[in-house]
A and B are shown apart, each in its own frame.
Chain A
Amino acid sequence: MQFISQKPHFEYLRKKWTSRHKATQDKFWEKHGGALKQVAIGSLGGLMLLTPTKLPTVQTPLFASRDDVLKGYDKNVLLAQSLSEKVPQDVAPLEKQQENDLTDTLSKDFGFKVTAQINSIRLSRNYGLIGGEQHLARYPGDTLYDHADTSVDWAKYGSSGMAPGLGAWGYFATSKNQFDETAKQREKYYLAIQTFLAPGFAENVAEYRDFFKFRKMLVVNPHTGQAVVAVIADAGPAEFTGKHLGGSPEVMDGLGLADGPRKGAVLYFFIDDPKNQVPLGPVKVTARLAQL
């Protein structure tokens, strides 16, 4: 990362922690490098942060950093090219033909069924402006710091803050003890959707409320091809904001929209996943498109 800070207290910490980091690395590889020379590593997984300074066969990136957003960009750029011919210039509701064309394309490219309608329920639009939301409280007593698994999480997503109210369906778990990985992923990759504008909502509030709760969606930044699988966990934003949906800090990061105005045009469709087989988080196109 190349940047210059004028803050002496930051510079002090940067130098001190860089020096400590290097000493820790050197000690690690000096002690264990010999034994690890022969390790054949298939995937990086938990090795992401291991930084070999002198040794060996394990060649890993220095850090999991903000640059990791670009990993999705590289592979999904072909999708962006494909979408550029299909997505209208204006951020407006899609025509039926455009909708069908896009859901077909996305279903094929991602390998799961993407659709604008399930059980005759659809949203008022599937192409709109997304804005960055805050974290949501996941269980009573949850704190902003508890949301970060790592220091990088804290640095990337902590500044978004935590919403003073709860999501549309309340907490994700009734207590910290009940809080599990599913609940954690749902808050991490959540969307606020204008469910109240869905055709038929006013006449079927209870049915629609249950249908939309944690409904899985695919969100795609058509300009970059970056895409995230997320769930609906809140209702909003209000119409006067000019935005059509909101994304958690992690969703915005995965879409490449975390910086600057934290806003941009996205496609968003339901994922028909009755067996719950599609994991939440950033998603890449399948080999079919990558081979084009």
Chain B
Amino acid sequence: MNYFYSHLIEIDSVFEQLDKMGLSNEEKLHLGQLLDSSLHHTILDAILSELSDSDKRAFMQHLSEGKHDQIWKFLNEKAIGVEDKIKKVAKDLKQELYEDIREAHKIK
């Protein structure tokens, strides 16, 4: 599934690190689900924090309809510069994930 923010997020490097851990497909899928959902919550939190309550509801409605153009049109009007914020929170989360993976390697 392609998310409206996918083009702003670089997460390949996390996959590369995980691929070095000798995980089974099931294990990869489990971690992948946690990663995707954590990232999704983190990014939506960053966006919603920029919006009023009524705009939050309007945004969620756009999100539920899945039309990326409409989502970005709305965000460009209501939350100027939110792309940078999305990139930043994703980068911060990724950094935390790297550190976790580094610690996991020590246990291996």
How many Å lie between the Cα of A157 and that of B35 in the bound state?
A: 16
Contact of A155 among B25, B64, B101 (CB under 8 A): B25
Instruction: Give the chain B neighbours of A51 by CB distance below 8 A.
Output: 37, 41
Given contacts A43-B65, A158-B19, contact A50 B40 (CB under 8 A): yes
Q: How far is the CB of A79 from chain B (nearest CB, A)?
A: 24
The stretch that binds B, out of A7-15, A124-132, A133-141, A272-280, is A7-15
The reply to whether the CB of A5 lies closer than 8 angstroms to some CB of chain B is yes
Q: Which B residues lie within 8 Å of A149 (CB)?
A: 1-3, 6
Q: Shortest CB–CB separation between residue B71 and chain A, in angstroms? A: 8
Evaluate contact between B34 and A10: CB separation under 8 angstroms: no
Neighbouring A residues of B1 by C-beta, 8 Å = 48, 64, 149-150, 152-153
Residue B8 at the chain A interface, CB threshold 8 Å: no
Contact of B32 among A3, A12, A41, A152 (CB under 8 A): A152
Closest beta carbon of chain B to A11's beta carbon, Å? 9
**A66-B29 contact given A45-B65, A51-B37, CB 8 Å threshold:** yes
Across the interface, A46 reaches (CB within 8 A) one of B48, B57, B64, namely B64
Residue of A nearest to B26 (CB): A3
Contact call A13/B57, Cβ cutoff below 8 A = no
* Residue from A12, A32, A64 within 8 A of B104 (CB atoms): A12
Are B27 and A10 interface neighbours, CB within 8 A? yes
* A45 pairs with B12, CB closer than 8 A: no
Closest CB of chain A to B58's CB: distance in Å? 9
A107 located at the interface, meaning its Cβ lies under 8 Å from any Cβ of chain B in the complex = no
Cβ 8 A contact of A9, one of B28, B57, B97, B108: B108
Known A-B contacts A35-B56, A159-B25; A65 and B33 likewise in contact (beta carbons under 8 Å): yes
Report the bound CA distance from A41 to B58 in whole Å. 11
Query: Which chain A residues (128-185) contact chain B, with CB distance < 8 Å?
Result: 143, 145-146, 148-156, 158-159
Per the bound structure, the CA–CA distance linking A267 and B23 in Å amounts to: 34
Verify A17–B38 contact, CB threshold 8 A.
Answer: yes
* Interface size bracket, A side: 35 or more
Q: Which of A25-60 contact B (CB under 8 A)?
A: 25, 27-28, 31-32, 34-36, 38-51, 58
Please tell me if the beta carbons of B34 and A18 are within 8 angstroms of each other in the complex.
yes
Residues of A with C-beta under 8 A to B96: 20
Known: A46-B3, A64-B1. A32 touches B31 (CB 8 A): no
Tally chain B residues at the interface, Cβ within 8 Å.
56
Interface of chain B: mostly helix, strand, loop or mixed: helix
Instruction: State whether A46 touches B63 (Cβ < 8 A).
Output: yes
Find chain B residues with CB under 8 A from A153 CB. Answer: 1, 32
B32/A9 in contact, CB under 8 A: no
Residues of B contacting A14 in the complex (Cβ-Cβ under 8 angstroms) = 27, 30-31, 34
A286 within 8 A of B: no
Task: From known contacts A31-B48, A36-B60, infer whether A151 and B32 are also in contact, taking CB-CB under 8 Å.
Answer: yes
A9 with B105, Cβ < 8 A, contacts A1-B29, A65-B33 known:
yes
Q: B61: which A residues are within 8 A, CB to CB? A: 39-41
Q: List 29 A-B contacts (CB under 8 A).
A: A5-B24, A5-B26, A10-B27, A13-B31, A14-B27, A20-B38, A21-B38, A24-B42, A27-B45, A28-B45, A31-B45, A31-B48, A32-B56, A34-B53, A35-B53, A35-B56, A42-B64, A45-B63, A50-B44, A51-B41, A58-B60, A64-B36, A143-B12, A148-B15, A149-B3, A150-B6, A152-B1, A152-B32, A154-B15
- Chain B residues proximal to chain A, CB less than 8 Å: 1-4, 6, 11-12, 14-16, 19, 21-42, 44-45, 48-49, 53, 56-57, 60-61, 63-66, 71, 96-97, 100-101, 103-105, 107-108
Q: 4 additional contacts, CB 8 Å, given A49-B41, A149-B3?
A: A36-B60, A43-B65, A151-B31, A154-B32
